[in-house]
Amino acid sequence: MKKVLYPGSFDPFTIGHFDLVERASKLFDEVIIGVAINPGKNPMFTLTERENLIRECCKEIPNVKVVSFEGLLIDAITAFKADAVLRGLRAFSDFEYELQMALMNRSMLASCETIFMMPNANTSFISSHMVKEIANLNGSFEQYVPQIVAEAMRKKLNGAN
């Protein structure tokens, strides 16, 4: 039983994230999506909202589990008994940060393997940060996120919650 932990802020969960989850679900017995509690960030969605939205987006993929974690990623790896960490590599510009994070994690936990997967080329330019910025500036953002995420964002923007 091979489990991979896919950590991230997922604020919001985009079609690029979903693409990666779908791909990983075919390679691993279980994909654990770990939503990070990051006290330093001021997210658009609360942790529970992000978890619930991701669960809804991935409900058709049976071997996906959504959890949250606080603190170090290496502690989450141990807690969830994951065999590896999954991260998406969209462009060369992601590489430096991702390499540093993977090696830092491995220096703290020698058994920590990080696996990188490339999302579909037609989603590889999408970032949660830019999607939020576009949404906040009244641009069209719906095509970059799953439909239920778009609806939830629309409600946030309209001040519904």
Q: Which residues are the active-site residues?
A: 17, 41, 90, 128
Nearest distance, CB of residue 42 and ligand PNS, angstroms: 13
List residues binding ligand PNS (CB under 6 A).
7-9, 36, 72-73, 101, 104-105
Cβ atoms 76, 36 nearer than 8 A: no
| Nearest alpha-carbon partner for 114 in 141, 143, 74, 150 | 74
Q: Is the Cβ of residue 19 or residue 158 nearer to ligand PNS in the bound state?
A: 19
Q: Is the Cβ of residue 16 or residue 62 nearer to ligand PNS in the bound state?
A: 16
| 58 burial type by CB count under 10 A (0-12 exposed, 13-18 middle, 19+ buried) | buried
Nearest distance, CB of residue 140 and ligand PNS, angstroms: 23
Nearest distance, CB of residue 105 and ligand PNS, angstroms: 5
Q: Is the Cβ of residue 94 or residue 142 nearer to ligand PNS in the bound state?
A: 94
Question: Distance between CA 28 and CA 61 in Å, rounded?
Answer: 12
Cross-strand pairs, 86: 115
